[in-house]
A and B are shown apart, each in its own frame.
Chain A
Amino acid sequence: MPEQYTTFVSGVIPLPVENVDTDQIVPARFLKVTDKEGLADALFRDWRYEADGGLKEPTFVLDKPAMYGRKILLAGDNFGCGSSREHAPWALVSWGIRAVITSSCADIFQGNALKNGLLPIIVDPERLRQLFDLVAAEPEVELTVDLDSQVVHLPGDEDLPFEVDPFSKLMLLQGTDELGYLLGKAAAIDDWEATHPARVDTRPKGAAQRPAA
């Protein structure tokens, strides 16, 4: 279950690439795990490492020493497209990322991120370009992400407001998860099911006809 999402100040990791797919964020060969641990090493694996296990030269942005401890990823449009693997936000969070600023996120990735304490911050394309310019000019610039006020504070008292789904915001701020909320709807689900018969029975034919033991 994610922790409560609190305001934080961080430097920015710039990744000016569009359409970053979840196969790049976590390559499929790392999906054989049966838990959520240890995925930080798999994050952007093939953009970071050579086949022999050494870091690529020049090093990928994540492996530049100045990036260690940074929590904001600034990424190109349509971040997280492709596969539904939740391993992608697990790996980003495991590395320490808590917000991705971009001009759009893929739908499934966005839903997965919000359930894992990772905040997608969607800005318009022109604003995104300005942010890339800002980080290029001042690589050490620090931003403050304030979810409660839905604002990113930029240097020089400039505020960048952003939209977030109000329900997801509440879940993040409280550190509660959607399953807890859904379980609280059990009575409504019971009522609905009482008037809506099952559309299909997945049990193998024969087994389905047997009375329950």
Chain B
Amino acid sequence: MSAASRQPRTLVEKIWDDHVVTEQPGAPSVLAIDLHLVHEVTSPQAFTGLRRRGLRVRHPERTVATADHSVPTTPRNLPILDEMAAAQVRQLETNCREFGVPLHGIGDPSQGIVHVIGPQLGLTQPGMTIVCGDSHTSTHGAFGALAFGIGTSEVEMVLATQCLLQRRPKTYEVRVDGRLAAGVSAKDIILNLLSRIGVGGGTGHVFEYRGSAIEALSMEQRMTICNMSIEGGARAGLIAPDETTFEYLHGRPHAPQGVEWEAAVDRWRTLPTDDGAVFDRTITIDAGALEPMVTYGTNPGMGLPISSNVPDPAEAADDQRRRGLEQALTYMDLQPGQPLLGQKVDVVFVGSCTNGRISDLRLAAAALDGRKVAAGVRMLVVPGSDEVKREAEAEGLDEIFRAAGADWREAGCSMCIAMNGDQLSPGQYAVSTSNRNFEGRQGKGGRTFLASPLTAAASAIAGAIADPRRLPGIETLAAVGGR
């Protein structure tokens, strides 16, 4: 079929069509995978499977591993005290050595959260198919890549064949137009979307985020949005590549160089959704009307504008919703009708694959500069990668955090998943820049309010949930993120 006679296609349909290896009636498509990211938690059983079958990794040079989930964020010269975590990290090292997979392990200057280092190294590029045994692989969609999380059986398939069996997903347009107010950021856009569609609203679909508010975002803010696509049930969420994307990628270690760069950019320019292409579903968000968002419950869809009150289960649409809300409020120990603003917090966590990048740390630091974390509040700042840590230290952000009384740590997933010893105690409240507020996610019995880095910093200063728009100088402060 010539290009001219083709039906208009969406971004995801173009990438899909480019990667179908073969199709058989009744069976899913065999889809080629360009980049496979691997971490210590979801890969050991896959490598064991390869050994059992006597298979090798088909393309170790299209595969890259790091240790992020269970690594301590204490100084790197200390051993991993948790014997099971240590064994898992050692197993990853053994597997990578035996199968020839490049590894950015502990001590490697490129170590970090898998969804931070992929973009940082220039491995994540437009038009690619990217998978990882991790649901937040959707992050890489910010570059106009089809990127999604897979299970360990699929990790084994990709290691063995560099392919997956997949059914073509449906498409869901998320159109965000208008201009964000100072103090309102990408995190608030995605939390607003989730509060509207719920945690299952995107099931079976892939989001494409479009519109003037999305185009105006930096790459790191775009990553924040795409990262949480999975919290709406969509395995992937994409943003069309543009000049912002190319500028971010240019000169990165694994990005194309020289004439190859020019050819790649030409190819990437053909990716955006064609005029007239049809999405299966559409939702629109008015960016100008958004407030900072915060969650109150036990899934990321339970979020509200920060000036709201906790909802009343008695007003729920049906019995099952009411029970769900009651269970959430019991777990959170919140009262229907109480204001979110002013709710006391014990811990503030800034980090994760959602908001652990340099621009996130710059915003939190700008808010904290010359101020103090409230007495009795523990604040952890965990850079998303070793490179982010070095960059932050070069800019003196670590000094600002320390002077404010925050704890400046080594890179990793840390308190987002609480596998590494960084965790809440039962009953503690945290404002967290991470992606999940599920029961026990940040430590058994811990209670999470998801929010943006600015809201987290404002809340650390207040010792309670606080509105970042009331920070002095918010207009200039909110502009420091960059990138």
A182 at the interface (CB under 8 A from B): yes
Instruction: Tell me the nearest residue of chain B to A32, going by C-beta.
Output: B84
Say which residue of B22, B87, B419 sits within 8 Å of A28 (CB atoms). B419
B270 at the interface (CB under 8 A from A): no
Q: A residues 13-42 with Cβ under 8 Å of B?
A: 16-19, 21, 23-24, 27-29, 31-36
Say which residue of A76, A81, A183, A201 sits within 8 Å of B299 (CB atoms). A81
Say which residue of B203, B231, B441 sits within 8 Å of A23 (CB atoms). B441
Decide if A34 touches B91 in the complex (CB within 8 Å). yes
A211 at the interface (CB under 8 A from B): no
Nearest-neighbour CB distance to chain B for A126, whole angstroms, equals 12
Query: A21 contacts which chain B residues (CB < 8 A)?
Result: 199, 299, 436, 438
Decide if B439 touches A81 in the complex (CB within 8 Å). no
Query: A166 contacts which chain B residues (CB < 8 A)?
Result: 26
Stretch with Cβ within 8 A of B (4 or more), from A60-68, A91-99, A100-108, A136-144: A100-108
Can you list 16 pairs linking A and B with CB atoms under 8 Å apart?
Answer: A17-B327, A21-B199, A31-B419, A32-B82, A34-B87, A36-B45, A51-B444, A78-B200, A85-B42, A183-B55, A186-B161, A189-B30, A189-B32, A192-B21, A202-B35, A202-B254
Decide if A198 touches B439 in the complex (CB within 8 Å). no
Q: A107-B235, A198-B34 are in contact. List 18 more A-B contacts (CB 8 A).
A: A21-B436, A24-B439, A28-B419, A34-B44, A34-B45, A36-B45, A46-B444, A76-B324, A78-B200, A104-B203, A105-B203, A106-B200, A182-B30, A185-B22, A189-B163, A192-B22, A193-B32, A199-B125
In the complex the two chains form, what is the Cα distance from A104 to B167 in whole Å? 17
Decide if B123 touches A24 in the complex (CB within 8 Å). no
Query: A183 contacts which chain B residues (CB < 8 A)?
Result: 55, 160-161
Say which residue of B34, B42, B60, B253 sits within 8 Å of A84 (CB atoms). B42
Decide if B203 touches A107 in the complex (CB within 8 Å). yes
Decide if B167 touches A23 in the complex (CB within 8 Å). no
Q: Determine which residue in A193, A198, A204, A207 has the highest number of CB atoms from chain B within 10 A of its CB, and name it.
A: A204
Number of interface residues of A (CB under 8 A): 63
In the complex the two chains form, what is the Cα distance from A121 to B59 in whole Å? 36
In the complex the two chains form, what is the Cα distance from A31 to B204 in whole Å? 26
Say which residue of B88, B102, B154, B161 sits within 8 Å of A203 (CB atoms). B102
Say which residue of B134, B151, B157, B164 sits within 8 Å of A112 (CB atoms). B151
Stretch with Cβ within 8 A of B (4 or more), from A3-11, A152-160, A173-181: A173-181
A23-B438, A24-B438, A202-B254 as given contacts; A179 in contact with B199, CB under 8 Å = no
Decide if A19 touches B165 in the complex (CB within 8 Å). no
B321 at the interface (CB under 8 A from A): yes
Decide if A198 touches B59 in the complex (CB within 8 Å). yes
In the complex the two chains form, what is the Cα distance from A186 to B32 in whole Å? 12
A82 at the interface (CB under 8 A from B): yes
Chain B window 315-337, contacts with chain A (Cβ cutoff 8 Å), 1 for yes, 0 for no: 00000110110010000000000
Decide if B30 touches A29 in the complex (CB within 8 Å). no
Decide if A192 touches B233 in the complex (CB within 8 Å). no
Nearest-neighbour CB distance to chain B for A25, whole angstroms, equals 11
A59 at the interface (CB under 8 A from B): no
A29-B419, A179-B160, A199-B125 as given contacts; A111 in contact with B154, CB under 8 Å = yes
Query: B64 contacts which chain A residues (CB < 8 A)?
Result: 202
Decide if A182 touches B160 in the complex (CB within 8 Å). yes
Nearest-neighbour CB distance to chain B for A133, whole angstroms, equals 11
A188-B22, A200-B34 as given contacts; A182 in contact with B163, CB under 8 Å = yes
Query: B154 contacts which chain A residues (CB < 8 A)?
Result: 111, 115
A82-B436, A104-B200, A106-B200 as given contacts; A200 in contact with B254, CB under 8 Å = yes
Query: A186 contacts which chain B residues (CB < 8 A)?
Result: 161
B85 at the interface (CB under 8 A from A): yes
In the complex the two chains form, what is the Cα distance from A107 to B85 in whole Å? 28
Instruction: Tell me the nearest residue of chain A to B416, going by C-beta.
Output: A28
Query: B41 contacts which chain A residues (CB < 8 A)?
Result: 31-32, 85
Decide if B82 touches A81 in the complex (CB within 8 Å). no
B27 at the interface (CB under 8 A from A): yes
In the complex the two chains form, what is the Cα distance from A28 to B63 in whole Å? 25
Decide if A86 touches B42 in the complex (CB within 8 Å). yes
Instruction: Tell me the nearest residue of chain A to B123, going by C-beta.
Output: A200
Query: A203 contacts which chain B residues (CB < 8 A)?
Result: 61, 102
B153 at the interface (CB under 8 A from A): yes
